[in-house]
Amino acid sequence: MSDLHKRAMEAVLQAAEHDVVATLQERAIKDSHSEEADEAVLDVAILHAWRIFVRICEQRGLTVDAGLFAELAGELADELAQDQDYD
């Protein structure tokens, strides 16, 4: 991974961390290891992925398709779950 990619990834992760903290506060979640906290983190991650997907589509002149995003995210989740089953 190039230095530029590393810096960009770090910026994305920092933004997500700020959003996680804000989301936990908004939802009044005090236990950061609870199932509710896990769901909040997942919500933030999905929202960030959606925003990135929208930006990429717009920059490439593609139609933003929420159904395609959901389908691709579901397929990726299935693949990751299968990979974990083999570990």
Q: What is the pLDDT of residues 9-56, one digit of tens each?
A: 999 999 999 999 999 999 999 999 999 999 999 999 999 999 999 999
pLDDT value at 78 more than 80: yes
pTM: 0.79
40 burial (CB, 10 Å; 0-12 / 13-18 / 19+) is: buried
Number of domains making up the chain: 1
For 51, the token pair is 């925003």
**Domain enclosing residue 18, as ranges:** 3-86
Specify whether the CB–CB gap between 49 and 39 falls below 8 A: no
Measuring CA to CA, which residue among 42, 12, 10, 9 is closest to residue 24? 42
For residue 33, give the 3-state DSSP assignment.
Answer: coil
